């Protein structure tokens, strides 16, 4: 290994990549996508509904507290006091609030006395998901308020095709942070699996690769190009982190996941660069190459049958996403971190074994 030759080739490719519009697009597009998600979904969290409630009570009532107890951390309830029942109806009709509640005088006392007082729930013409959520919570809240207990313990079991629960994952992470992280892995995939092969294929097409191996060993050339992939991938991930403020709770685990994926995908990118003879072929096949590599990232934590969830467990990008989500939150959203790294490393061994075989063939 010759450090001076590696450094020279590395800086040459680094500058050439900036001048190549196709390489620049592979770097900029996922970066722009991550920024778009960050701005579009700022302060939004689809996994945690927020219900605005127009509320009137003729006497003090524990209904708001009972509703909050029933919904727990699954929703944020905001009660907006209204002057009278008519004001509640006006606010809901004008879509100022999503739903309305009107509580009569002595409501709580009547419940405790075993009576059946009337609670008026005012819904809009077309109630949204948040309004329906509150309506469904009213019954359990009234039982809580009246001191009743459930007549039985209900155990829910899943039969047939199991579905992974994504509500809690998105509720804790938030769609904004989830999408930005997925875009960050997309940056790494685009650089390593698209931009890096383009650089190598163009040198093969123009026969500059043959000139390089006359003055440097094939391993030196490959190492230099791998460093280009590392630098652009990590710079892209770093830029997206700074621009979006997506700072992980566990930075060591977070960086380890991104670095492991970058090393593995760089191996595949260099191999693909040797398979295709020109950049046009890579552009033609890039979509087919990228879909199985980066596509699974966007399904991690979403509802999936058992077979699909098992498939995600054996793919490097989805494992990197799981580990990075754990590091982002600082909690074990997903188990099997060590197994996840083993999967990524195993794919890396396959990638570099293929690359080594390819280099031996080209040197004959």
Give the domain CATH number at 127.
Answer: 3.40.1710.10
The pLDDT value recorded for residue 173 is: 77
Same domain, 222 and 99: no
Question: Is 209 a residue whose pLDDT tops 90?
Answer: no
DSSP character string of 266-325: HHHHHHHHHH-SSHHHHHHHHHHHHHHHHGGGGGTTS---HHHHHHHTT-HHHHHHHHHH
Does 345 share its domain with 209? Answer: yes
pLDDT confidence of 41, banded at 50, 70, 90? low
The single-letter DSSP state of residue 36 is: H
The model's pLDDT over 131-155, given as tens digits with 9 standing for 90+, comes to 787 888 888 888 888 877 655 444 4
Strands of the 119-122 sheet, one edge to the other: 76-81, 50-57, 99-103, 119-122
Q: Are residues 180 and 290 in the same domain?
A: yes
Sorted by sequence, the CB contacts under 8 Å of residue 156 that are 6+ apart come out as none
Q: What average pLDDT does the segment 5-10 reach?
A: 79
CA-nearest of 38, 10, 356, 286 to 2 is 10
Domain boundary among 94, 126, 145: 145
Residue 95 in any domain: the answer is: yes
Confidence tier at 23 by pLDDT (50, 70, 90): low
Element (DSSP H or E) covering residue 56: strand 50-57
The predicted model gives 181-192 an average pLDDT of 88
Give Cα separations from 115 to 50, 60, 103 (angstroms).
32, 18, 15
Is residue 230 one of the residues assigned to a domain?
Answer: yes
For residue 119, the cross-strand partners are 103
Give 234-240's long-range contacts (Cβ < 8 A, gap of 24+). Answer: 234/258, 234/259, 234/262, 236/27, 236/30, 236/31, 236/184, 236/187, 236/188, 236/191, 237/184, 237/187, 237/188, 239/31, 240/31, 240/34, 240/35, 240/180, 240/183, 240/184, 240/187
pLDDT at 90: 92
Q: Mark whether 194 and 313 lie in a shared domain.
A: yes
CA gap 273, 291 in Å, rounded: 17
Is residue 178 domain-resident? yes
- Residue 155, in any domain of the structure: no
Angle between the N-to-C axes of helices 218-244 and 175-190, in degrees from 0 to 180, rounded to the nearest 10: 160
* Residue 348: predicted pLDDT: 93
User: What pLDDT score does 153 carry?
Assistant: 45
CA–CA distance, 198 with 13 (Å, rounded to integer): 11
Query: What is the per-residue pLDDT across 267-279, written as a single tens digit (0 to 9) for each?
Result: 998 888 888 877 7
C-beta atoms surrounding 43 within 10 Å: 6
d(CA 289, CA 246): 28
CB 86 within 8 A of CB 165: no
Contact (CB, 8 A) for 282 and 212: no
pLDDT band at 34 (very low <50, low <70, confident <90, very high): confident
Q: What is the mean pLDDT of residues 245-262?
A: 91
The residue from 124, 145, 166 where one domain ends is 145
Distance, in Å, from the CA atom of 340 to the CA atom of 251, rounded to the nearest integer, reads: 17
Same structural domain for residues 119 and 241? Answer: no
Q: Does residue 6 carry a pLDDT above 60?
A: yes
> Taking the chain, what is the end-to-end CA distance rounded to the nearest angstrom?
20
Q: Are residues 225 and 280 in the same domain?
A: yes
329 within some domain = yes
Pair 116, 35 in one domain? no
In terms of C-beta density within 10 A (0-12 exposed, 13-18 middle, 19 or more buried), how is residue 126 classed?
A: exposed
User: Is 116 among the domain residues?
Assistant: yes
Last residue of a domain, one of 100, 126, 145: 145
What digits encode the pLDDT tens for the residues 69-104? 888 766 788 999 999 999 999 999 988 988 999 999
One domain for residues 246 and 356 = yes
Q: Is residue 133 part of a domain?
A: yes
pLDDT at 57 over 80: yes
Q: Is residue 156 part of a domain?
A: no
Tell me the average pLDDT across 296-310.
Answer: 80
157 pLDDT more than 50: no
Distances in Å between the Cα of 315 and the Cα atoms of 195, 261, 292 are 21, 11, 9
**Domain limits for position 74:** 50-145
Across residues 1-25, what is the average pLDDT? 73
Residues 326 and 211 in one domain: yes
Q: Are residues 303 and 353 in the same domain?
A: yes
User: Which residue matches tokens 């991930």?
Assistant: 237
To which H or E segment does residue 159 belong?
none
Percent of the chain with pLDDT over 90: 23
How much is the mean pLDDT over the chain? Answer: 81
Do 54 and 38 fall within a single domain? Answer: no
pLDDT at 210: 63
- Say what the pTM is: 0.65
Residues 294 and 237 occupy one common structural domain: yes
> For 78, phi and psi rounded to 5 degrees?
-120, 115
**What total of structural domains would you count in the chain?**
2
């Amino acid at each position: 290994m010759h450090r001076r030759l590696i450094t020279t080739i590395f800086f040459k490719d680094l500058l050439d990549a900036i001048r190549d519009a196709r390489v620049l697009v592979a770097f900029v597009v996922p970066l722009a996508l991550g920024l778009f998600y960050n701005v579009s979904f700022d302060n939004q969290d689809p996994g945690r509904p927020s219900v605005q409630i127009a509320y009137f009570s003729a006497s003090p009532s524990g209904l708001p507290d009972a509703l909050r107890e029933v919904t727990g951390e699954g929703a944020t309830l905001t009660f907006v006091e209204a002057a009278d029942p008519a004001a509640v109806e006006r606010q809901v009709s004008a879509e100022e609030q999503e739903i309305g509640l009107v509580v009569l005088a002595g409501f709580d006392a009547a419940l405790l006395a075993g009576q059946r007082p009337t609670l008026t729930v005012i819904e809009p013409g077309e109630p949204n998901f948040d309004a329906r959520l509150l309506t469904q919570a009213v019954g359990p809240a009234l039982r809580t308020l009246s001191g009743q207990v459930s007549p039985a313990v209900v155990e829910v079991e899943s039969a047939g095709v199991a579905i992974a629960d994504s509500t809690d994952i998105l509720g804790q992470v938030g769609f904004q942070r989830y999408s930005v992280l997925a875009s960050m892995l997309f940056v790494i995939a685009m650089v390593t699996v698209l931009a890096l092969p383009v650089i190598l294929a163009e040198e093969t097409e123009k026969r500059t690769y043959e000139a390089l191996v006359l003055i440097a060993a094939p391993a030196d050339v490959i190492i230099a190009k791998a460093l280009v992939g590392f630098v652009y991938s990590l710079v892209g991930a770093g830029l997206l982190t700074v621009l979006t403020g997506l700072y992980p709770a566990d930075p060591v685990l977070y960086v380890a996941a991104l670095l492991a994926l970058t090393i593995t995908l760089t191996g595949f990118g260099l191999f693909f660069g040797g398979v295709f003879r020109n950049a046009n072929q890579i552009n033609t096949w890039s979509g087919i190459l990228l879909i199985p590599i980066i596509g699974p990232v966007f399904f991690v934590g979403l509802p999936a049958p058992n077979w699909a969830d098992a498939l995600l467990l054996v793919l490097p990008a989805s494992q990197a996403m799981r580990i990075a989500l754990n590091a982002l939150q600082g909690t074990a959203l997903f188990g099997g971190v060590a197994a996840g790294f083993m999967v990524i490393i195993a794919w890396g061994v396959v990638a570099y074994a293929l690359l080594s075989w390819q280099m031996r063939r080209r040197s004959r």
